[in-house]
Structure 1
């Protein structure tokens, strides 16, 4: 799941010419924390909420 999420996020960011830092800023988290969530290093309840938010923003 994490690899699939990471690929989808990377692909959407590329299409939108958007950086991870910009996405993190939209969500209100650090880019390091965003990277940890996307790559499955953080997966608690709060991270799951952020994943839902990421998917909503990027339409994935």
Structure 2
């Protein structure tokens, strides 16, 4: 069960990282000149998922 959940978290983080990269690329090429908070939201969610992954992995190592 834990492994499936960790796999889900890794996949979700990867998906969000891809969205962030795309958002940044669009901004760099002038396609998204309005800062609507998307970048900050994506970074925050990635950070939350990373923290959750770390916590679960630390639990598992004991």
Comparing both chains, which one has the higher relative contact order based on Cα–Cα distances under 8 Å and sequence gaps of 6 or more?
2
- The structure with the largest helix share of the pair is 2
Task: State the structure with more CA Rg.
Answer: 2
